[in-house]
Amino acid sequence: GAVVSQHPSRVICKSGTSVKIECRSLDFQATTMFWYRQFPKKSLMLMATSNEGSKATYEQGVEKDKFLINHASLTLSTLTVTSAHPEDSSFYICSARAGEDTDTQYFGPGTRLTVL
């Protein structure tokens, strides 16, 4: 099956710093990638959809200036949490659509962000 990786798997940072999370499709090209956030004991919430070479589309209530998304290539999308605060602590998960002729999304293993 299609494999999606994320790096880092876990990050702890101080309040006010920025954190970058990478999402890579390892064995396929992904024109569309998605970023989700999951709080403890809650379901996944879509944050934004990114298409290679164009600006990301953010869901209502998600601050685009705080959560910067870059999808510079067909295999890499990055999410940067700028000026992180403790309330940004969460589990961030990316997914990638595995090709033009399918709607199936494959998910990365997630990144646990803790902001002190």
Partner 1 sequence: DAKTTQPPSMDCAEGRAANLPCNHSTISGNEYVYWYRQIHSQGPQYIIHGLKNNETNEMASLIITEDRKSSTLILPHATLRDTAVYYCIVRASGGSNYKLTFGKGTLLTVNP
Piece in contact with partner 1 (CB under 8 A), picked from 1-9, 13-21, 65-73, 81-89? 1-9
Q: Which amino acid is at 37?
A: R
User: What distance in Å separates the CA atoms of residue 85 and residue 71, rounded to the nearest whole number?
Assistant: 24
Q: Which of 34, 35, 58, 67 binds partner 1 (CB under 8 A)?
A: 34
Q: Is 28 in the site for partner 1 (CB under 8 A)?
A: no
- For partner 1, the closer CB: 32 or 75: 32
CB atoms near residue 49 (< 10 Å): 17
Q: Which of 44, 62, 68, 74 binds partner 1 (CB under 8 A)?
A: 44
Based on the number of CB atoms within 10 Å of its own CB, is 34 exposed (0-12), middle (13-18) or buried (19 or more)? buried
**Does residue 88 sit in helix, strand or coil?**
helix
**Residue window 51-90: x/- pattern of binding to partner 1, with contact defined by CB under 8 A:** ----------------------------------------
**Does residue 76 sit in helix, strand or coil?**
strand
- For partner 1, the closer CB: 65 or 103: 103
